[in-house]
Amino acid sequence: MTEIAMELIDLKKTIGKKEIIKGLSFTINRGEVFGFIGPNGAGKTTTIRMMVGLMEITDGDVRILGNSIKQHFKEAIREVGAIVENPEMYPFMTGWQNLSHFARMIPGIGKERIHEVIEIVGLEKVINQKAGKYSLGMRQRLGIAQALLHKPSILILDEPTNGLDPAGIREIRHYIRKLATEENVAVIISSHLLSEIELMCDRIGIIKNGELVATQLVNDTTTDHTNLRQVTLEVKPINQAIEVLKANHEIDAIQEGEQLQFQSEKETIPNVIETFVKHGIAVYQVGVSKATLEDKFFDLIGENTIE
């Protein structure tokens, strides 16, 4: 039984005459880590800003545990912890002072809870230093600590691994997974690091030009419900093979050294080989691999990511 944590209903944002977000609809379940990816300028941050009520929604709605962020802001935002863009803190206050400051804004957060979140993000040693002296990684951790203070049902993290070293990334990744499975928190992570998303998320939503291009389970790409394959062939002569492919199957293959590479559906692979044999092209080796998330991403948004 999955419980919906956040629901986007035909969410739109228009600034001036330009439509930045063109009707986003998707849901995020409790206990799920949802990756929100897309090229720069696709509208990730704008969407996140609307999710947390920092930006006015032009049309549509965001519902958090059933509460509209527009009509019931306080009830809705109570369930959200977030870092929007960079993890900015008061530079003249220590980590501890920063956390107490935000703790005071929500009733019922005691010192024990502050200690708890400091331990979670591993900032014990530097918590009494001024936040202005923190490295980006330390600020990122403090940002996550701040977002966790009030035990939110939904955690929204904008580029959470930014500035963290590999060990730190692993730690945070581990912690995010734990939050989702053990505490049933819905985690929304925006990122442009595809490999990161792949390792951390259950499901991804790909956004381009303010539109949702696709949502899919990350496991899809490995257990495979889609049929897209990355095919590598060792054939001779290569030039003739490229022409034959184009003429018979309308596939644009590229030459990689001695090999030929292209993407196609699983079913067409035998046909391709048959065609090669018919045309007297020697096939030495056939390699088939499943498309990675990265291939998928570029498939969906195109190579030219910034528009």
Partner 1 sequence: MSNFYQLVYNELNKIYIRKSTWVMYVILAALIIGGAVLTNSIDDGLNKYDDDNWREVLQEENTALEQEITEYESDDFIAQINTSEIGKNNYYLENDIQPQYGAWQYVLENQGMLSIVSLLTIIVAAGIVANEFRWGTIKLLLIRPITRTKILASKYVSVLIFALFTLLFVLLFSLIVGALFFGLDGINPSIVVEQGEGFTDVSALSQILSGYGYGMVNLIMMTTFAFMISTVFRNSSLAIGTAIFLMMAGNTIVAIFMEKSWAKYILFANTDLSQYANGGEPWIEGTSLGFSIIVLIVYFIIFQLLSWFFFNKRDIAGN
> In angstroms, what is the minimal distance from the CB of 54 to partner 1?
4
**Which tokens belong to 37?**
């990816």
Q: Is the dihedral of CA 291, 296, 302, 304 positive or negative?
A: negative
Residue with tokens 């003429």: 247
Is 163 in contact with 140 (CB distance < 8 Å)? yes
Under rule CB under 8 A, residue 168 binds partner 1 = no
Closer to partner 1 at the Cβ: 66 or 270?
A: 66
Under rule CB under 8 A, residue 212 binds partner 1 = no
Under rule CB under 8 A, residue 186 binds partner 1 = no
| Span interacting with partner 1, options 104-112, 120-128, 260-268, 298-306, rule CB under 8 A | 104-112
User: Which are the contacts of 179, defined by CB distance < 8 A and separation ≥ 6?
Assistant: 155, 185, 187
* Cα–Cα distance for residue pair 224/228, rounded to 1 Å: 9
**Which tokens belong to 105?**
């804004």
> In angstroms, what is the minimal distance from the CB of 103 to partner 1?
9
> In angstroms, what is the minimal distance from the CB of 261 to partner 1?
40
Q: Which of 105, 167, 254, 306 binds partner 1 (CB under 8 A)?
A: 105
Residues in 67-96 that interact with partner 1 by CB under 8 A: 73-75, 77-78, 80, 82, 84-86, 88-93
Under rule CB under 8 A, residue 16 binds partner 1 = no
Is 149 in contact with 106 (CB distance < 8 Å)? yes
Q: Which of 3, 59, 66, 101 binds partner 1 (CB under 8 A)?
A: 101
> In angstroms, what is the minimal distance from the CB of 254 to partner 1?
39
Under rule CB under 8 A, residue 306 binds partner 1 = no
User: Which are the contacts of 190, defined by CB distance < 8 A and separation ≥ 6?
Assistant: 35, 36, 37, 44, 45, 48, 157, 158, 159
User: Which are the contacts of 227, defined by CB distance < 8 A and separation ≥ 6?
Assistant: 265, 266, 267
Under rule CB under 8 A, residue 112 binds partner 1 = no
> In angstroms, what is the minimal distance from the CB of 304 to partner 1?
24
- Phi and psi, residue 82, nearest 5°: -150, 155
Is 299 in contact with 228 (CB distance < 8 Å)? yes
Neighbours of 256 (CB within 10 A): 10
> In angstroms, what is the minimal distance from the CB of 3 to partner 1?
21
| String of contacts with partner 1 for each residue 28-47, x by CB under 8 A | -----------------x--
Under rule CB under 8 A, residue 49 binds partner 1 = yes
Reported as type and span, the H/E element at residue 50 is: helix 44-51
Under rule CB under 8 A, residue 162 binds partner 1 = no
Q: Which chain residues interact with partner 1 by CB under 8 A? A: 45, 49, 52-56, 73-75, 77-78, 80, 82, 84-86, 88-93, 97, 101-102, 104-107, 146
